[in-house]
Amino acid sequence: MALSKAKIKWVQQLSLKKFRKQLGLFVAEGDKMVADMLPAFTCRALFYTDAYTGPLQADEKIEVLYDELCKISRLETPQHVLAVFEVPSFDIPYDALSRQLVLALDGVQDAGNLGTIIRLADWFGVEHILCSHGTVDAYNPKVVQATMGALSRVKVHYVDLPMVLEKLNMPIYVTALDGNNLYDATLSDSGIIVMGNEGNGVSSQVQALATQKLLIPNFPVGRCTSESLNVGVATAVVCAEFRRRQL
């Protein structure tokens, strides 16, 4: 049976934030991506071709032709499966977070950057990311694909960032051009690393809460160089240094 127009529309509209929010659903594509996410999220529908060999753990399982999969896919070259998942709801475990390294994102706008940061968090064992309400939606299809499945292991919370930072009462490390050299700074095993907007950095309201400001120095010092690093690259450098100190 051909894939209905209603099903096609249902999946396609999830590319828009207003429908993801209204329906509480998001889309993930690709054999490995879906296999990673199936144990972590409730799957409402699984659209797959006869070439798909992965798990079929879903409320509704719909076998489709490859041409039909292409109609609902956002990928230039779709693989063999597309899944519609429920957006999870997480409580913030304040007590547990006080003993962990946590990332906070203040107005990160680019979907690729957020996806990269979620993947980095997974790599460096950061289980929770606190996002300001001005940060791009983690369930945007571009973000989901960029996480390469890491979204199934990292919990993303959208919060009133200044209020939550104050409530956590943890060391707060803000990346800033007027900060202390990252490699000379005293860093704690637990704390909150705040990364800012691609153009404007960390907001003044959040900067005012900083325990310490950190700068990733260029090399050699004083050399004329790029104005700043991409926020995803900067996150990788800072997380790597925090974890290096713990080895």
Mean pLDDT score, 90-109: 94
% pLDDT > 90, the chain: 90
Q: In terms of C-beta density within 10 A (0-12 exposed, 13-18 middle, 19 or more buried), how is residue 112 classed?
A: middle
**Greater pLDDT, 177 or 188:** 188
% pLDDT > 70, the chain: 100
pLDDT, the chain, mean: 94
pLDDT level of residue 1 (50, 70, 90 thresholds): low
- Judged against a pLDDT cut of 60, whether residue 204 lies above it is answered with yes
Backbone angles phi, psi at 95, to 5 degrees: -65, -45
CATH number (3.20.20.70, 3.30.43.10, 3.40.1280.10, 1.10.1280.10) of 94-245 reads 3.40.1280.10
- Judged against a pLDDT cut of 90, whether residue 68 lies above it is answered with yes
Q: May I ask the CATH class of domain 5-86?
A: alpha beta
Mean pLDDT score, 177-197: 95
What per-residue confidence (pLDDT) applies to 126? Answer: 98
- Judged against a pLDDT cut of 90, whether residue 226 lies above it is answered with no
- Judged against a pLDDT cut of 80, whether residue 2 lies above it is answered with no
Give CA–CA dist 165/159, Å, rounded.
10
Cis peptide before 220 (omega within 30 of 0): yes
Per domain, the residue ranges of the chain are 5-86, 94-245
What per-residue confidence (pLDDT) applies to 222? Answer: 73
